[in-house]
Amino acid sequence: MDGPADPPAALDPEQQQAVEALTGPVCILAGAGTGKTRAITHRIAAMVHHGVAAPNQILAVTFTTRAAGEMRGRLRALGVERVQARTFHSAALRQLRYFWPRLSAGPFPTIIESKLPSIRAASARVRVQLDPASQRDVASEIEWAKAAQVQTDAYAEAAVAAGREPPLDAATVQKLLAAYEEVNGERGQFDFEDLLITSAYAVEQHREIAAQVREQYRHFVVDEYQDVNPLQQRLLEAWLGDRDSLCVVGDPNQTIYSFTGASASYLTDFARRWPGATVVRLVRDYRSTKQVVEFANRLTPGTTLLAQGGDGPAPTTTAYDDEPAEADGVVARIKALQREGVPLREIAVLYRVNAQSEVYEAALAAAGIPYLVRGGARFFDRPEVREGILRLRVASHAEHDGPLPQLVADALNVADTAPGGRSAREAWESLRAIIGLAEEFPGATLRDFVAELDARAEAQHAPPVDGVTLASLHAAKGLEWDAVFLVGLVDGTLPITHATTPAQVEEERRLLYVGITRARRHLALSWAAARAAGGRRSRKPSRFLDVPRGSAGAAKAPKRIPDDPVEVALREWRLQRSRDDGVPAYVVFDNKTLEAIAARRPADRAELSDVPGVGPKKLEQYADDVLRIVRR
């Protein structure tokens, strides 16, 4: 839904055209930030005020409860009450509860919030062992099969045809799906997809139910129509019957959920399926500055958004030597924005995969900047990370020889290549991130590294109040901020490695487009040539950036001068302080922070606090010593 960056009080010409199309099929193609919620709520209000529809005859369908609540609030402000604004699942559940006595003599099924308990029971039934990540991937396959209306006995063939990457071979997953349905049937349970399936069946197969539903709801509005899947479309068509009072709203350039079964074809083919439909294009972007909009337009050929947000700073594309340097650079820029008056809640760091959050969580925590992780658990709260640290803790009690990264990799027992299945791959990426972190401390012992992980985990319990948002690009859809940092933009991450077909690569491009269009004013894109500090610089920038390696504007880490007397003195002090405190030296300050202090020569506490890696706690503990050494 659109946020506070709404158009002025008067409707623009395209919005007015949408509002005036009160009858018949209507398709509103609404680009990012173009005021689609304003257009559709004014259209609903006009339908009511002109007597085309009574409020309780309109069903507005959205994809989140937050969006539904916002729509109801805006309608109330326009003097319209009693319009039903619901998600597909909420509307289906409400109807199914009402009609259940006509469908069954038994009690209403229990609605399960999670598929995992039933999946575990199904795996035991067919004697297949599943780790937690594989259980989540099987849940995703169940959701996809039901959304795509694939029958259980046809799953294996359909999965191969669709290019799915299940965690196990397709035949085994098919057995699990069948057992899952048996378990739910025996337990009297429905999952969320069953709500839609049974609701559609009730309307399709029972004339009296269809007549009552269609008498109640005569006009339909569907938001985010590019994200509709075949099952949701089936239910929508059951509700409609042979009528045509349907208004759909969406943006093909924001189609990023194909892996769940969503299909933008329902939106792009709307005029063909509904001859004579009114098609309106909203093209005036009220969210972002001219510079951000022009950047977004270049990414998606054929897009012609017209910026209404005035001028602003040019988007930046920055290269870094490694991920820690990239995170430090982002944190330094966040501090600068904060000094300029940008609230932390209006700043977001967006990435392709959840495992990328760790380095930014650590950098923000070290700088004393509060943050919150949206759409996923914080890095150190993830089950695979907790289990991995437990393995490392056990391994640290034995004697080991060899470089730390190899010891960590051996203890975690991580495969060299990513497994199939989205959740299993994300878990693998999280463990690889731990190995990447170990590469920053090659000379440390395993016990010291576990202490470092514990310190990072503890430091990241920052209060989630007025903090920087960390989110994946998928979780950021529908949101917006004054400043957006798009990070980790390397080939293999965006586009992701397993995007192999042209259609999959284009979906990755649209994902970057979604990220760009979240920014109102400040937009920064970045990538790192190596994962760990000092690692091999073999990465290439994302092909979507079209930025040659080593281009102008690339940010470099401060040049290290090993013989610099300030750095030498700081290292000597750090070693003694670590011995006094009984902690590893890098817990006091890591090498990069010491090098940055020596290079910047801070004159006071304010300047020292601007050095990446120097947060309020370390400032309080070490500022006097550090500043004395620098002055001397």
Determine the Cα–Cα distance for residues 22 and 146; give it in Å rounded to an integer.
34
- Sign, CA dihedral 92-93-97-101, equals positive
pLDDT in tens, 468-518: 999 999 989 888 999 999 999 999 898 888 788 888 889 999 999 999 999
Count how many Cα atoms sit within 13 Å of the Cα of residue 471 in the half-sphere of its side chain: 22
Query: Which tokens belong to 127?
Result: 């004697």
Angle, CA of 290, 332 and 539, to the nearest 5°: 80
Amino acid in position 519: A
Tell me which amino acid residue 406 is: Q
Percent of the chain topping pLDDT 90? 46
Q: Mean pLDDT over all residues of the chain? A: 85
**CB crowding 545-580: b at 16 or more within 10 Å, else e:** bebeeeeeebbebeeeeeeeebbebbbebbeebbee
Give the strands of the sheet with 468-472, arranged side by side: 316-322, 519-530, 481-486, 347-351, 468-472, 371-374
Whether residue 550 has pLDDT greater than 60 = no
Residue 485: helix, strand or coil by DSSP?
strand
Beta carbons within 10 angstroms of residue 606's beta carbon: 9
pLDDT at 81: 87
Cα dist from 32 to 85, 228, 286, 288, whole Å: 21, 18, 9, 9
Which residues neighbour 566 within 8 Å (Cβ) at sequence distance 6 or greater? 597, 598, 601, 629, 630
Mean pLDDT, residues 266-290? 92
Q: What is the mean pLDDT of residues 195-205?
A: 95
Q: Which two tokens stand for residue 586?
A: 């890098």
Q: How does 69-80 read in b/e, with b if 16+ C-beta sit within 10 Å?
A: ebbbebbeeeeb
What does the alpha-carbon distance between residue 477 and residue 471 come to, in Å, rounded to a whole number? 10
Rounded to a whole number of angstroms, the distance between the first and last alpha carbons of the chain is 57
| The predicted structure's pLDDT at residue 421 | 63
Question: What tokens appear for 174 in the block?
Answer: 């098919």
Q: Are 340 and 334 in contact (CB under 8 A)?
A: no
pLDDT band at 557 (very low <50, low <70, confident <90, very high): very low
Q: Is 399 exposed, middle or buried (0-12, 13-18, 19+ CB in 10 A)?
A: exposed
Phi-psi category of 107—alpha, beta or left, where left has phi over 0 and alpha has psi -120 to 50?
A: beta
Identify the residue with better confidence: 410 or 152. Answer: 152
The helix or strand, by DSSP H or E, that contains position 614, with its residue range, turns out to be none
**pLDDT for residue 420:** 61
Residue of 414 and 4 predicted with greater confidence: 414
The answer to whether residue 551 scores a pLDDT higher than 70 is no
Residue 618's identity, in one-letter code, is K
Q: From CA 542, how far away is CA 537, in angstroms rounded?
A: 15
Q: What confidence score (pLDDT) does residue 549 get?
A: 37
- Tell me the average pLDDT across 575-594: 76
Task: Calculate helix-pair angle for 170-187, 132-147, nearest 10 degrees.
Answer: 80
pLDDT value for 98: 94
* pLDDT tens sequence across 13-26: 999 999 999 988 99
pLDDT class of 119 with cuts at 50, 70, 90: very high
How far is it, in rounded angstroms, from Cα 407 to Cα 67? 48
The pLDDT-based confidence of 9 (bands split at 50, 70, 90) is low
- Examine the pLDDT at 80 and tell me if it is beyond 70: yes
Residue with tokens 């369908």: 61
Bridge partners (DSSP) of residue 296 are: none
**Minimum mean pLDDT range among 246-250, 286-290, 425-429:** 425-429
For a pLDDT cut of 70, what percent of the chain falls above it? Answer: 91
Q: Is the peptide bond before 252 cis (omega within 30 degrees of 0)?
A: no
Closest among 315, 318, 329 to 557, alpha carbons compared: 329
| Rounded CA separation 37/35 (Å) | 6
Q: What is the pTM of this model?
A: 0.73
**Residue among 428, 425, 452 at smallest CA distance from 438:** 452
pLDDT the model gives residue 442: 67
Over residues 408-462, the pLDDT tens digits come to: 888 888 777 766 666 676 677 778 778 877 877 767 788 888 887 877 676 554 3
E-strand stretches of 391-480: 468-472
Helix, strand, coil abundance in the chain, percent, nearest 5: 50, 15, 35
Measured torsion, CA atoms of residues 29, 31, 35, 37, in degrees rounded to the nearest 10: 50
Please provide the DSSP assignment of 587-602 as one string: HH--HHHHHHHHHH--
CA-closest candidate to residue 539, choices 263, 505, 385, 547: 547
Q: List C-alpha distances in Å: 66 to 55, 63, 143, 478, 516.
A: 20, 9, 22, 10, 22
Sequence-distant (6+) residues with CB within 8 A of 549 are 319, 529, 540, 541
Query: What is the pLDDT, as a whole number, of residue 422?
Result: 60
